[in-house]
Amino acid sequence: MLPGVVSDYLNRLDSKRIPPLILHIDADCCLLDSWGKPEALGFPPLNSGVDLSDALPFLTGVDATRSGSLASVDPGTGHAIDVQFLPDAAGRLFVVLTDAREQHIQTAEQQQRTYETRLLYQKQQKLLDQLIATRTELDLRRREAEEALRVKGQFLASVSHEFRTPLTSVIGYAEWLAKAMDPDDPARRQARAIARAGQHMVTLVDNLLEQARIDNSEATVHEDTVDLRQLAEDMSAIMAPLAADKGLAFAVFLDPQDAADVVLDEMRVRQILINLLGNAVKFTEEGFVQLTLAWANDQLHVAVSDSGPGIAEADRARIFSAFERLEGAHKRAGAGLGLHITLQLVKLLRGSIGLDSRPGEGSRFHVRLPAPLAEIPEETTAPAASGGRILVAEDDTDIVQLMELFLGRAGYTLDLAANGRDAVTMALGNPPDLVIMDLNMPVLDGIGAVRELREGGYNGPAIALTGATLDEDRIRAISAGFDGFVTKPIRMPELIALLQDLIE
């Protein structure tokens, strides 16, 4: 049995190494006993009493009373060995021989694993660096894209404003001329065509601006109390002339006919209806276009039907994509945004849209929108309209003359100011019944002017007039002190109705 000092040493050896050869020798290098297989290390069989001085010359001169070791010794057997000297209590020596090649192999393997681990770490670090660089690049590109969207939104808003001001004159004067002409005058039809073309341009601008809002995640819902009967009448007034020009039958149905007021984003619902009806009239060459508005269970059901060419099954998803136009559509005016914007607006209003169509059998778009009943206000007795004096602050002379035509005929007297500073001086010096103020005024803009009016004590109603349609412009105007907000191009009947409500 091996003594404890040898057993402890053997327990510390790597178990995967070749089993060691253990020799117990006396002070004269004579073998007392052995354990293990000498041939495993290249030695011949060893018998007790054999002098090992010649076979193991490294034993010569070893101090048998002290522990020690030799590494990678070549005993001439073709095996490099490690030697460990372990003295016993009787002054003799245990010599433990282990195959150094196994240790070298293990050391090399360990070094290889270390190298591979280091190489893997370097690769991981390189990949991490590349990932960080890619993420940084993506963040940069994202910020650039967001900035591009913001600039595009500002550009479209500016374009919208610049378009709306002259379109007010184009549409307004065309409508005025059409009304002033004899019903049999051929030029009356051309005047109405000018007005309709102007309205078409407004729709295109609105669609582009709405797309910019959606891209920038700036589109928000403004809930209004909507009179469905008035909405149906307005759609008929806008679209029936367009259909008549093409010889199409046009009809609007409301169910129930005495539908109560509901809560909707009126501006966007009108945009949805105009987009769907405009497409139906545009692509239908003969037959009919029909709008049905049905309200039930807090939902507005919209159906736009036509006898047009229909839409193939394969094209139904594509028509809702931006700038997509079907075969033959290039012959008709438009940017290919109408249905895409319609889909986005329906989603914004938490509704749904569907399509039933077959080639050659017409199309039917159906929309469902949440539309709860509006609260019924308490009835009050309003005084009859009696006109009034209005201060118009507008620097565009064409629009001023247009207002003089329409508002003068409606019974209103107009005071005119060409800039915001004059408007404040005139309103505070001789307060009018109502102020109409363009926001983009010279000398002092509309926001600054209405603030000075309120600070100066003017408590009458004030209407903001602007070509901008962004939600923040509306909020800024109302916060500054305006009571109403009218977007160019001005629809004179709507403006006159607003004047009457505010003055009363």
CA distances from 495 to 262, 284, 488, 500 (A): 22, 33, 11, 9
CA distances from 206 to 263, 456, 464, 468 (A): 22, 37, 19, 10
Phi and psi at 97, nearest 5°, equal -105, 125
Q: How confident is the model at residue 106 (pLDDT cuts 50, 70, 90)?
A: low
In sequence order, the β-bridge partners of residue 464 are 437, 485
30-34, 94-98, 335-339, 432-436: segment of lowest average pLDDT:
335-339
Q: What is the mean pLDDT of residues 134-151?
A: 82
Per the CB < 8 A criterion, the answer to whether 149 and 217 are in contact is: no
207 CB-near residues (< 8 Å, 6+ apart) = 271, 275, 335, 337, 338, 341
Task: Provide the pLDDT for residue 191.
Answer: 79
Q: How confident is the model at residue 414 (pLDDT cuts 50, 70, 90)?
A: very high
Q: How confident is the model at residue 207 (pLDDT cuts 50, 70, 90)?
A: low
pLDDT of residue 426 exceeding 90, the answer is: yes
Per the CB < 8 A criterion, the answer to whether 181 and 460 are in contact is: no
Task: Provide the pLDDT for residue 316.
Answer: 76
Share of the chain above pLDDT 90, in %: 26
29-38, 310-319, 393-402: segment of lowest average pLDDT:
310-319
State how beta strands 388-393 and 412-417 pair. Answer: parallel
17-21, 84-88, 143-147: segment of lowest average pLDDT:
17-21
Residue 462 CA to residue 482 CA, distance in Å, equals: 5
- Count of CB atoms situated within 10 Å of the CB of 411: 12
DSSP letter for each residue of 39-89: GGGTPPP--TT-B-TTT-GGGTT--TTS-EEEEEE--SSS--EEEEEEE-T
- Count of CB atoms situated within 10 Å of the CB of 341: 25
230 CB-near residues (< 8 Å, 6+ apart) = none
State how beta strands 363-370 and 31-35 pair. Answer: unpaired
Task: Provide the pLDDT for residue 296.
Answer: 92
Q: What is the mean pLDDT of residues 103-126?
A: 79
Q: What is the mean pLDDT of residues 86-105?
A: 80
CA 55 to chain centre: 86
* DSSP H/E element including 16: none
Question: Of 450 and 149, which is predicted with more confidence?
Answer: 450
Per the CB < 8 A criterion, the answer to whether 424 and 450 are in contact is: no
Length, in residues, of the chain: 504
Task: Provide the pLDDT for residue 200.
Answer: 63
Residue 5 CA to residue 137 CA, distance in Å, equals: 65
Question: Of 204 and 64, which is predicted with more confidence?
Answer: 64
Domains annotated on the chain, with CATH = 220-370 (3.30.565.10), 388-503 (3.40.50.2300)
Which residue carries 């412009």 as its tokens?
473
CA atoms within 13 A on the CB side of 472: 6
DSSP character at residue 329: G
Which residue carries 């209407």 as its tokens?
463
Residue 31 CA to residue 23 CA, distance in Å, equals: 7
Residue 206 CA to residue 157 CA, distance in Å, equals: 10
Q: Structure pTM?
A: 0.49
Residue 132 CA to residue 275 CA, distance in Å, equals: 46
pLDDT digits (tens, 9 = 90+) for 462-492: 999 887 666 677 788 889 999 988 888 787 8
Q: Is 386 in a helix, a strand, or coil?
A: coil
Amino acid at 439: L
Chain-wide mean pLDDT for the chain?
A: 82
Considering only CA atoms, which of 214, 152, 155, 149 is closest in space to residue 468?
A: 155
Of the chain, the end-to-end C-alpha distance in Å amounts to: 120
- Count of CB atoms situated within 10 Å of the CB of 352: 12
Give the best-scoring range by mean pLDDT among 107-116, 131-140, 471-480: 131-140
CA atoms within 13 A on the CB side of 416: 14
Task: Provide the pLDDT for residue 382.
Answer: 41
Task: Provide the pLDDT for residue 503.
Answer: 83
- Count of CB atoms situated within 10 Å of the CB of 476: 15
pLDDT of residue 308 exceeding 80, the answer is: yes
pLDDT digits (tens, 9 = 90+) for 383-413: 444 578 999 999 888 888 888 888 988 889 9
Task: Provide the pLDDT for residue 15.
Answer: 47
Considering only CA atoms, which of 258, 252, 255 is closest in space to residue 305?
A: 252
pLDDT digits (tens, 9 = 90+) for 250-305: 999 999 888 888 999 887 898 899 889 998 999 999 999 999 999 999 999 999 99
